Structure 1
Amino acid sequence: MDAKNINLRPDWNLLDSTFESYKLSLQQLPVYHVNPDCELDTVTLANDDFSYNRTKVLSLHNYLFGDPWNEKECYFVDKAGHIKRLSVIVEASIGQPRSVFQLGSHFLQTERHMPVTISFPSANLCLISDGAGLVYLLDTGNRQTDTTQKTKWTILLSGNIVGENSEPSVLLCSRQHFEDAEPESGDHGKKDVIDILTLRFQDEKKDDAVISQAVVEWTWLFRYDEKSKFEIGEHRMFKGKQAPFYATLGESGKELFIGSHSPMKYATDWEQQVLSEEMEIENGEAADKMDSAPENSESLYKWTQTDEDVTVMIPMPEGADKTSVVYGLSKSKLTVGFKDATGKISYVLDGKLFVEVDHESSNWSVEGQTLTVTISKELEGQNWPIVILGDTSGQMIPNNADQDVDMETKDEMADLEARGFQPTGLDHYEDCDDLPDADSMLYMFDATENKFTYEAGIASNQWLFNCYYNHKLCTVLRHDIDALVWESDTPSESCSSPWKHVATFNALGYVRASKEDVKYSGCSPNASYSALCESSSRVFVYHSPTTTAAPLKNRKTGKSMHVSKQQVVSLPSNEPILGFHASSELMFVLTGAKIFIIKVTAPDT
């Protein structure tokens, strides 16, 4: 990964060295509630699938969806597939949630193992993944100005419109942007583009073990004017051992930002497609070679790789020996073939290598009836998706040393279940079961360069939660005892880092570490308060310091000290909390029987 390593540097002007502590306020926050009058749609793990990835994601899934474009509304889904909107105009008089859209029959007829997810790319558009493989793009009208709430949501596009297949996925993020239309389109206006990030899990069988990988897919939808239909554009795919804790898109639509506790890799199948397209431009031959290759043809050679070299193993023709080998290797081209008794040469490999190599350190040898070619990589650690550009006659053999080991495999779980162990959720996992944070990183992928261009190690910065700050999806990391909000954006001349410190929650990192039962965390979009929501009953609110008429002073030093307020909300319910959302003035808490609305007001000083 040829990426520039960046150190996350806090803005010292946003750190408060005079902050002393939080004081508990006895002032009660107003709490209202409404009955959803429906059964919520929730998803549990399949009986034969308790992989660590899926267990963690589903157990912590938030079934309540806030709207960044309208802070007084939130959404949830019922068992019948109705998307319901709760709108709070006046807290003391809250109406019943109203259905704004209903998912199709595919939602009801398919056995699902992924929840419904909702994302809002703009004030007029909504994306819904039904958890069964279908995604809907909807026109919602302007949700910022629609006070009647009677606008009918209409389908602009639906079907298997994201990713490379129809496997169930959840929406991570979406964004609408406009860019200049291509000259060949004949349109002189702006192209309307919607970027979509989704997450799914892919099981791969390696050496009789089932390994679960998290797959993040980036899909483009586009149209040239409001009267035309959206079309499916490009697609990129990224893989890792764990689901990312943070994923968002740049405003220009050319950057992807990912935070993960395990390395994220740009998937090789997309790289191979890009390389094939480059070969078509160069000599016009790669596409014909790809199309003419038999679908189930036997591999002419096998190959494997390490960080240092690529090893190609070629079966020798009957009667051939060492003197029959025809071998040629330059910095960018490989030729391997065999000469028969008549002098005719049959080439097995003949073409341009994936990248330039150290040809002087490479060699070949013959053992038995196998010709082995060892190619030294010029750039160590670079992953090769293919040996010869455009060649599909080889079979890649994964290196056992590089195989990922999943935390739990189906075979292991079957053995545990046979001994009476019945996993039901995260309660059966201890902190030590999680993968180490040594590989925790923030990444920036540049679509114009088609590679990761920046990375930042955050092994010493615990991830706390994600939030919307000024309409941008940010991530919150612990720094010492504080919690810092980091905004992702394209580097510029004034700021060479893609991640900028924009707000601070004093001592929240220390507070969060002291609470064991926190399920959801959040904050207001203007960073006036942060909140920790337990799995049942209680919500803790921590207000940011405000200027007071009579500031507190340290008796010994005489310096002014900041003391802020903490408030605790005890909900009149013992049911598990299934969703939480925080806005500037309201907090929404979802349980199976009620939706609680908490009016957040600054406590009296």
Structure 2
Amino acid sequence: MTTSNYTLKVNRELLDPNFESYRLSLDPIPTYNVELDAAVEEVTLKDCQYTLEHMRAFGMYNYLHLDPWYQDSVLFVDCKGRVLSLTVTLDTVLGKPREVFRLATEPERRQNRVCPSLSLTSATWAALSDGAGRLYLLRTCKRGDTAHGKWEPLFSEDLGEPFIVLHSVAHVQGGAHTLEVLLLRVVKDPQETTGSGYSVILEWISVANAATQGVEKKYKVTKRRLLRGKSVPHYAAVTPQGDGLMVASERPFAFTHVDGQPLGQPQPAANEQDMEVEKPDPVYFWQQTSDDITASVRLPEGVSKDAVLFRLTADTLSVGVQGSPPLLEGQLYASVDPEASAWLLRDDKSLEVNLQKRTQGPMWPELVTGDRRGEHVMSDEQAALIHERLTHLTSQDVHAGPDPDKPACNSQELEDCDGFPEDTSSLMHFDGESLKTTQVVNLSSHQYLFTVSVDPTQMPCLCLRHDVDALLWQPRPDQPADMWEHVATFNALGYVQASKRDRKFSTCAPNFSYASLCECLRRAFIYRQPSPVNGVLFNRKQGRQVGQVAKQQVASLDTDRVVLGFRATDERLFALTADNLFVLKVNNY
């Protein structure tokens, strides 16, 4: 299966070239506070977790989980190991988060651990990591019912080093209920002698249950696949049917192991191996000037001058030895002057031929038409000619412009938000059967912004910066010709987000009505889509009537604690700190 380069196709109808700016709105945002009985379990980085990848994977982890199957229901894990759930039905009457599951981590395992993580697999299943290397698959039944009891663990297994759960899906494969779970680890790499010394591991695990005659069997791991890379992926998700994987990262990932067995290195094709092994040494060498050509033909050792067979006409050349087939024979690329040409035997090992071109000037691409057994050696004259032809493309003068007093490039004129990462980011789709990439998108000019789940039956969307705007892309793995669909645009959000130096989390509403940015402390910014103006409004500078306005709002949380989690629904924003869960009423429907 070959890899094809893919270009993201922007829907021009979703762009607004006339967008001006966001207008600051002083309309209050109702904010409600739920005080937690126990603090959220925040796992701080240890001295050995010093790399940028540790910070991206664990230090910036979003501890708050939104249930895409039941909106306005959020979950988190507290310091007692309790998985707590809060479902909002009435903002003014918020109850306490209820316990749905409790982790049981041994004290000795709590020393070497990362943050607990949760993925809502389906409407009735969830995948949970205790942060110490154990994976739970839980049957949750109907989570939207506040009177529902605790979750039931149907699978629990220690999978080795600590990890976080990135994504999970559930489907039926071969009559068996199968759950696909994607895990992430940052592990020490003893083979790396340069850099941080760590590698990023993605582990794709399939857990299946083969039920017969209505009897439920035990869930067990049926397949484990490892991918290795050097950067924490911006986006990683399994396709809904478990037949593929999508990864967006600064550095590429590749499959290395399947079920504990290393994958073999790709071998060259048989014809390529034969070419590499059986490729003979050149039969002759030749070089040229604008006037003549000099060729050196290899001869068998001990050949005398009398045994050499040489024949030259204006258009053909033949060189050989008595009793053997010709060493070089065929039609010359262009005509020569036989009278001005000559040959010479050197050390009884080679025959040197000097051919005088009949038409001076043009360079020959080959000596004998169709003969690939020779090697062309560039002469000094030819190298000088090529250099002269390319001189206009280069300059030794730093100030090549007409104004020598003006710097060629002034980096101070560039703003921070105009910069992009130096590494070339890419979005890759892996086939689940062959484990090969089928499509690759170059994201070097499209900065990754955030990931959000819009439709729980589909893969999560990823938001990328295009120029100053933020474009939301919905993966469509069932449409190979149009695998990523542009579904929404947030005007100028790419520029706005890059200007927020203290930004920690970014998200948007599933119905695309607004996008929101949250800083490390207190403040949350809301950027609404343009809406019609009530009344008559004119632009003072241009003197024209304005039909719609995009609003910006700022909400300040009543806390001095760091924001650990941030999620958005169509109506509300949720912000989690160590001691409080804040609910911000953004829309009324």
Q: TM-score, normalised by structure 2?
A: 0.70
**Is 1:19 aligned with 2:38?**
no
Task: Give, in whole Å, the separation in 1 of the partners of 2:477 and 2:193.
Answer: 43
Q: Deviations over 1:527-553 (max 9, x none)?
A: 111100000010000111234465767
The residue identity in structure 2 corresponding to 1:598 is L
Superposed, which structure 2 residues align to 1:93-492 within 5 Å?
93-106=93-106, 109-144=109-144, 146-148=145-147, 150-160=148-158, 165-179=159-173, 181=174, 190-206=175-191, 211-225=197-211, 227-267=216-256, 332=270, 357-362=272-277, 436-471=421-456, 472=458, 473-492=460-479
CA distance in 2, matches of 1:232, 1:105: 21
Query: Which whole-Å CA distance do the structure 2 matches of 1:207 and 1:441 have between them?
Result: 23
Mapped to 2, the partners of 1:175 and 1:507 lie a distance apart of: 33
Query: Residues 10, 437 of structure 1: CA spacing in aligned structure 2 closer, same or farther, 3 A cutoff?
Result: farther
Alignment of 1:10-49 (within 5 A): 10-49=10-49
Cα shift at 1:151: 2.0
Could you report, residue by residue, the CA deviation over 1:24-82 in whole angstroms, capped at 9, with x for unpaired residues? 11110100101111122111222233122112322211111111112222111122211
**Range that drifts further, 8-17 or 555-564:** 555-564
Secondary structure of the residue aligned to 1:175 is strand
Conserved? CA contact 2:82–2:100, under 8 Å: yes
Return the offset for 1:362. 2.5
- Following TM superposition, by how much is the alpha carbon of 1:137 offset from its aligned partner in structure 2, in angstroms? 0.7
Distance 2:18 2:547 in 1: 5
Q: Is the 1:219–1:234 Cα contact (8 Å) retained in structure 2?
A: yes
**Partner AA of 1:168 in structure 2:** P
Relative to structure 2, which stretch is displaced further, 128-137 or 74-83? 74-83
What SS class does the counterpart of residue 133 from structure 2 fall into? coil
CA contact (8 A) 1:46 1:113 kept: no
For residues 3-82 of structure 1, the aligned pairs below 5 Å read 3-82=3-82
User: In the TM superposition, what whole-angstrom CA distance separates every residue of 1:519-575 from its partner, at most 9, and x where no partner exists?
Assistant: 011111111111000000100001112344657676859686542111110111121
1:173/1:196 contact within 8 Å kept: yes
Deviation at 1:448, TM superposition (A): 2.8
User: Partner of 1:543 in structure 2?
Assistant: 528
2:150 partner letter: K
Q: CA deviation at 1:267?
A: 1.4
User: Structure 2: which 5+ runs fail to align?
Assistant: 280-415
Q: Which runs of 5+ in 1 are unaligned?
A: 182-189, 276-304, 311-330, 333-355, 365-430
Say whether residues 1:564 and 2:550 are aligned partners.
yes
Question: One-letter code of the match for 1:465?
Answer: F
1:106, CA displacement in angstroms?
Answer: 2.9
Pair 271,78 (structure 1): closer, same or farther in 2 beyond 3 Å: closer
Q: Which residue number corresponds to residue 86 of structure 2?
A: 86
Aligned to 1:408: none
Cα distance in 1, alignment partners of residues 110 and 91 from structure 2: 38
Q: The residue matched to 1:258 in structure 2 has which SS?
A: strand
Answer yes or no: is 1:522 the counterpart of 2:507: yes
Per the alignment, in what secondary structure is the counterpart of residue 53 of structure 2? Answer: helix
CA 1:232–1:111: 2 relative to 1, 3 Å = same
Q: For 2:31 and 2:61, how far apart are their aligned partners in 1?
A: 24
Matched, 1:502 2:417: no
Q: CA deviation at 1:249?
A: 1.8
The answer (yes or no) to whether the contact 2:133–2:163 under 8 Å persists in 1 is: yes
Query: For each residue in 1:3-37, what CA deviation from the matched residue of structure 2 results, as whole angstroms up to 9, or x when unmatched?
Result: 11001111111112232221111110100101111
Deviates more, 1:554-563 or 1:38-47: 554-563
Say if 1:44 and 1:113, in contact at 8 Å, map to a contact too: no
Once residues 107 and 453 of structure 1 are traced to their aligned partners in structure 2, the CA distance between those partners, rounded to angstroms, is: 45
Secondary structure of the 2:112 match is coil
Contact 1:138–1:155, Cα closer than 8 Å, also in 2? yes
Q: 1:513 aligns with which of 481, 485, 498?
A: 498
Q: CA deviation at 1:207?
A: 6.8
* Aligned match for 1:583, one of 554, 569, 580: 569
Matched residues in 1 for 2:585 and 2:258: separation?
Answer: 50
Whole-angstrom distance in 2 between the partners of 1:70 and 1:438 = 38
**Higher Cα Rg: structure 1 or 2?**
2
Paired residue secondary structure (1:469): coil
CA distance in 1, matches of 2:545, 2:17: 11
Q: Is the 8 A contact 2:462 2:472 kept in 1?
A: yes
Question: How far has the Cα of 1:273 moved from its partner?
Answer: 5.5
Change (3 A) 1:3 1:551: farther
User: Alignment RMSD, CA only?
Assistant: 2.9
| Aligned partners of 1:134 and 1:166 also within 8 Å | yes
Corresponding residue number in structure 1 for 2:404: none
SS in 2 for 1:13: helix
**Secondary structure class of the residue paired with 1:361:** helix
**In 1, Cα distance between the equivalents of 2:131 and 2:260?**
28
Amino acid at match of 1:476: C
Worse overlay, 555-564 or 127-136: 555-564
